[in-house]
Structure 1
Amino acid sequence: MSEQRQQPVAVPGNRSGTRLPHHTVAGVGAGPANLSLAALGEREVPGGVRLYERRSSAAWHPGQLSEGTRLQTSWLKDLVTLVDPTNRLSFLNYLVAGGRMYSFINAQYEEIPRLEFARYLAWAAGELGTVRYGSPVERIGHIGTGAAGRFVLHGPDGPVATADHVVLGLGTRPRVPACFEGLDAGGLVLAERLHARLRGAAVLPYQPAVVVGGGQTGAESVLELIRHGFRDIRWIGRRNWFAPMDDSPSANDFFRPTYLRFFHGLPAEVRQRYVAEQQLTSDGISLSTIQQIYQLNYEMYLREGRYPVMLLPGRDVVRACERDGQLVLWCERDWGGRERHAAPLVVLATGREAADLPLAPELLALTELDEAGQPVLEADYSVRWKYAEHNRLYVQNRSRTGHGIADPNLSLLAVRAATILNSALEREVYVIRDEHVSTAWL
């Protein structure tokens, strides 16, 4: 369990009068990013890494674990293996501990089920025993100066803990386009809630449904609708084609530590351009998923004489309203003009955005911000702020233009966590090795 030293100074707002637990390193959020930090820090951080999680139990994208969904990242890129393959919380040890190693091998997965990875994360959290579920952190403040300084984590009812260093791993939330904001319509469903919405629901096969979003989540939503019997699905995407993810060897060079170091040293305008150019190495559709949609579409055509899915690329939804029990959408087309679609069910698979940072105003006032009003992050993912010499605040999963296209996804989980631990503990706890690179960026 995480070390809980007695708090020697008064903490404003601590009405209970009890001494608060103090941690060397505390994490807010218990998703993959901070679980990787806790797994790698288990033996290295005094008392371990305590994680505060708002959910009541372990969960990872619970609404997107339907049948057939696959992880887009190799299972070798788990919480620990890239920097510490002997760690007890590796994916391989999870399989062995559960007695499923041979069944997993014989299933011959190229891409593992997302459900399997979610169960692995829950297993690792249970093994750690340092995740405090049902403990939302709504505000992070700071008290003291110099070596006596510390962060204060505030829950709904006041302070819950203090820490020398804090790591924010807050994840993301669904992005809702402006034309859908404030639209209170029963037929409008976020992709992550589609599975729950369809469970046990009666389906009229030729009642139209619309999926908005041309990425992996949109593709999975289309498959979910097909599996539940929908036969009139209109799939709208802004790109001029439904683009597969680039999983080539050269594309995967962007997901290694050597490239990360090179990228971070580039001028800001070059980094922004590179991230835009590399978008499909991270945000495209898995080839197997798009193939499955095309094959199901073709086979349904053979049986019924019509395609169940109509693909509508090059369209941007600019207006939406509810009319006569239907959701009506107006799309602008790349080549000019508008078109209208109406359906009782519209699924939003329009990407995700970073959650708000719970920084107290007085802490934010001491923080250097970029042009977008976001904290400036150093190469070690620490926030550039006044008292960073003694108390470091780290932010995970929200520095794509600072740390490259790999930053928000699972590919460099362990590398990022190891970098943060090396920084927080001020020693090379983990050696991050990436040698024998055949691509010369410099």
Structure 2
Amino acid sequence: MRHQEVELLAIGAGPSNLALAVAVEELAGSELAQDTLVVEQRDDVAWQRGMLLPWTTSQVSFLKDLVTLRNPRSAYSFVNYLHSVGRLDQFINLGSFSAYRMEISAYLAWVAHSLQHVRVQYGRRCGSIRPHHTADGPSHWSVEMSDGSTIVCRHLVIGGGRDVHIPEAFAGLPRDKVIHSTEFAVRVDEIGTDRPLRLAVVGGAQSAAEMLTAVHQSFPLAHCTMIMRSIGLQAYEASKFTNELFYPSFVDQFHAALPEAREQLLREMHRTNYSGLTPELLESLYRRIYLDRLAGDERIEMLTMRDVVDAQLDGGEVAVTLLDRKTGGMTQHRFDKILLGTGFASAMPRIVQDLARSAGVADISVNRHYRMNLPAGYGATCHLQGVNESTHGIVDSLLSVLAIRAEEIVGDLLAHRSTPPVLVFADSTLTP
């Protein structure tokens, strides 16, 4: 279709918007569900596509799926997925609360294909979002897709995640020399096994360590150098007391906290999610290094407390200049490939920033129910998922809050819902 009109459009078919889709079906009734569309730029649904390695697991309990904390009896639970594919008894026998990443990814795809009323359309990338003005003011959004088609909606939910962070030093390198963790699994075969390679892994958290483990295992001729700013690899902070701060109910306390209290919470909780490794991966990686030393073949090198100052292509190699913060000295190292475990940009995603500019919003913020604060007179609404850490805590980017957040957004939508008017375009008339 060149033009579509829906009441609710969700951008991105990841965990956030799939949880929203299920909540719409279970809480809002078939009328709104049938007028809800989820668009996904890829041709399928996959979770953490770039790091879907066979042995990687989730760091949260399988009970924190799309629905269970909101509705334990839902047909869309992870347990029901396991039952439907005949693997429930095997998973129980595994004796673990942590599911494999590939299994969670398959669960999300199963949910997307099991929705009764909400539609999911694949291969549709959002290009721009602009307010659509009518006689009653900006009561809708006009979303232009990359193929030139347009979707008009009254309610918009953006859940595509943050933009990838590429450190400035590596931004100018050719694509074939740099692989970010978000595309590692689909590009790792580009590395090749035909000759000894020098591989640099930049970063000191879970994704960087997983890439290091994978290339050390898959490329026996490769020398792997891990470059990090920290003093060394550290385990996640994962005590049961700390984990209580990931309860959906804690969002209320965080949102109501004083600014200085929020800053302390974010600072002290950083290692619960961003700058650590699972104890199992730490143990496994240390044993790999130990066994290499035992065999006299040390293929893993750790460069700690190093800042990347520069990276230039030189004769087919990448020359990386590092500052050693212990000594103040500069060194240059040459690599064949750079693997970036550098995560995501802290700023709001580009698509949200562009929307805010078009709506006349200088300072992007959301209310307690994740609805963007728009200028007076807006009949259209926009909710943001997964990018509200400053107001809702670190949990906003994690699976832990999916089910309850979706319930809150749907409740807010229902409270502000009204029937969109007929919109007349130059070449068509669209009705709900």
- Same topology, TM > 0.5: yes
Alignment of 1:175 onto 2:159: no
Distance 1:86 1:78 in 2: 12
Distance 1:279 1:418 in 2: 26
Distance 1:360 1:159 in 2: 18
Report the residue type matching 2:50 in the other structure: G
Report the residue type matching 1:34 in the other structure: N
Distance 1:202 1:136 in 2: 31
**2:422 equivalent in structure 1:** none
Shift of 1:297: 1.6
Closer/same/farther in 2, CA of residues 196 and 57 from structure 1, 3 Å limit? closer
Is the 2:62–2:97 contact (alpha carbons within 8 Å) kept by the matching residues of 1? no
Closer/same/farther in 2, CA of residues 202 and 150 from structure 1, 3 Å limit? closer
Distance 2:289 2:5 in 1: 57
Aligned counterpart for 1:296 among listed residues 273, 282, 288: 288
**1:364 equivalent in structure 2:** 357
Report the residue type matching 1:78 in the other structure: D
Residue segments in structure 1 that go unaligned for 5+ positions in a row: 1-13, 428-442
Distance 2:150 2:244 in 1: 42
Distance 1:339 1:357 in 2: 39
Instruction: Provide TM-score, normalisation by structure 2.
Output: 0.86
Is the 1:185–1:322 contact (alpha carbons within 8 Å) kept by the matching residues of 2? no
Closer/same/farther in 2, CA of residues 185 and 420 from structure 1, 3 Å limit? closer
Distance 1:117 1:333 in 2: 40
Alignment of 1:184 onto 2:174: yes
Shift of 1:94: 0.4
Alignment of 1:60 onto 2:47: yes
Is the 1:171–1:355 contact (alpha carbons within 8 Å) kept by the matching residues of 2? yes
Distance 2:304 2:313 in 1: 23
The worse-fitting range, judged by mean Cα deviation, of 196-205 and 334-343 is 196-205
Residue segments in structure 2 that go unaligned for 5+ positions in a row: 417-432
Alignment of 1:236 onto 2:227: yes
Report the secondary structure of 1:138's partner residue: strand
Shift of 1:277: 2.2
Is the 2:139–2:378 contact (alpha carbons within 8 Å) kept by the matching residues of 1? no
Runs of 4+ deviating beyond 4 Å: 145-148, 358-361
Report the secondary structure of 1:234's partner residue: strand
Is the 1:329–1:341 contact (alpha carbons within 8 Å) kept by the matching residues of 2? yes
**1:223 equivalent in structure 2:** 213
Distance 1:388 1:286 in 2: 48
Instruction: Provide TM-score, normalisation by structure 1.
Output: 0.85
Once the two structures are superposed, what CA deviation does each residue of 1:37-59 show, in whole Å capped at 9, x if it has no partner?
00111133324132112212222
Aligned residues: 404
Distance 1:388 1:408 in 2: 30
Aligned counterpart for 1:341 among listed residues 333, 337, 358: 333
Aligned counterpart for 1:381 among listed residues 370, 387, 393: 370
Alignment of 1:46-195 (within 5 A): 46-48=31-33, 49-128=36-115, 130-142=119-131, 143-144=133-134, 149-156=139-146, 158=148, 160-184=150-174, 186-195=176-185
RMSD (Å) for aligned C-alpha atoms = 2.4
Is the 1:368–1:376 contact (alpha carbons within 8 Å) kept by the matching residues of 2? no
Distance 1:298 1:388 in 2: 64
Shift of 1:145: 6.0
Identity of aligned residues (%): 27
Distance 1:35 1:185 in 2: 31
Closer/same/farther in 2, CA of residues 367 and 398 from structure 1, 3 Å limit? farther
Distance 1:33 1:238 in 2: 31
